[in-house]
Amino acid sequence: MIVEQRIYTLAPGALPAFLAAYREHGLPVHQEIYQRLVGYFTTESGVLNQVVQLWAFDDHADRAARRARVQADPRWHAYLQHVRGLVTQQENRFLSPAEWSPAC
């Protein structure tokens, strides 16, 4: 198993609009195709105006196949129009749980 961590840094004041757009337009696509949401968070300390998503996949091949399905989905492209200009930076990490981690 791997977990993809995505961190989106948003323009100041854009958090409410981003969350609303994702919940209504992006999340349904991700839930249908990615299926394994580990968590969805906003920051309240440190770097502000950030959203952190954690999604679990069997492995990198599983993630790549699901990502290709998302990219081919017209609903995803419609969602991207809603958040255009709200995100100023994006960071991705792939995390592998320790063998004793509860996520295994």
The CATH number that applies at residue 81 is: 3.30.70.100
Residue 36 domain boundaries? 2-95
CA distances in angstroms from 48 to 3, 24, 28, 38, 87, listed in the order given: 23, 23, 26, 21, 13
pLDDT in tens, 45-79: 999 999 999 999 999 999 999 999 999 999 999 99
Distance between CA 83 and CA 76 in Å, rounded?
11
38 lies in some domain: yes
pLDDT in the model for residue 104: 58
Instruction: State pLDDT tens for residues 83-95.
Output: 999 999 999 999 9
Residue 45 in domain: yes
- Per-residue pLDDT tens for 20-53? 999 999 999 999 999 999 999 999 999 999 999 9
Phi/psi-derived region of residue 13, left when phi > 0, alpha when psi is between -120 and 50, beta in every other case: left
